[in-house]
Amino acid sequence: MKFFEIEQKYRLKDPQSVRTLLKKAGARKIREGLEFNEFFDKGRFFRGQKVALRLRRHGNGQALLTLKGPRLRSRFTRRMEIETAVDYRSAKAMLEFLGCEPVMQYKKKRESYRFGRALVTLDHLSRFGWFLEIETQPREIARIAGKLGLRPEDREPRSYLNMLFQWKH
């Protein structure tokens, strides 16, 4: 089991050109649709520890419960991530029973691609625009970013959750 993720997020100006480059490079689309994300906290316990507890529901009804640890020092975003498939209503009821409350919610449109060993996603958030995330080993992130014409200045260091908290406050 993998309990760490290494990824990098980039801001996109032209998602269609990236789709074209992904297709030419042999990437295969594996999923597309809306995702509904809810972040939970108990008071400010998780946020104070720089931990995120997320319940994600896909448009097809599938749900994932994810615990993300604090970011670790790394060239790209690296953090502990434990994720498991759950029944959405049951998981939400358990979290609420344990005293966790939703602190942030958002929807996004997501397209997921398999690119060799990498997972590449194109995300659209209505308030923020288009983003691309590459999740794999660091050397592969740099190689794929180069193939897709992404530059270091296109990198987005903030998580979607941090972007939303900054926008709200």
The angle subtended at Cα 130 by Cα 125 and Cα 136, nearest 5°, is 105
Both tokens assigned to 155: 């990198």
Backbone angles phi, psi at 152, to 5 degrees: -55, -35
Quote the CA–CA distance of 62 and 52 in Å, as a whole number: 20
Give the pLDDT of residue 77: 87
If you compute the radius of gyration of the chain from its CA atoms, what whole number of angstroms results? 16
Nearest to 129 by CA among 97, 163, 162: 163
76-107 pLDDT, tens per residue? 888 999 999 999 999 999 999 999 999 999 99
Upper half-sphere CA count for residue 34 (Cβ side, 13 Å): 6
Global pTM reads: 0.90
2-36 pLDDT, tens per residue? 688 999 999 999 999 999 999 999 999 999 999 99
Residue 158's identity, in one-letter code, is R
Give the pLDDT of residue 13: 93
Quote the CA–CA distance of 30 and 3 in Å, as a whole number: 22
CATH architecture of the domain with range 4-168? Beta Barrel (2.40)
Percent of the chain with pLDDT over 70: 98
Q: Which pairing describes strands 28-41 and 4-12: parallel, antiparallel, or unpaired?
A: unpaired
**Average model confidence (pLDDT) across the chain:** 94
Q: How far is CA 40 from each of CA 78, 87, 139, rounded to the nearest angstrom?
A: 21, 16, 33
- pLDDT higher than threshold 60 for residue 63: yes
How would residue 38 be classed by pLDDT, with cut points 50, 70 and 90? very high
94-149 pLDDT, tens per residue? 999 999 999 999 999 999 999 999 999 999 999 899 999 999 999 999 999 999 99
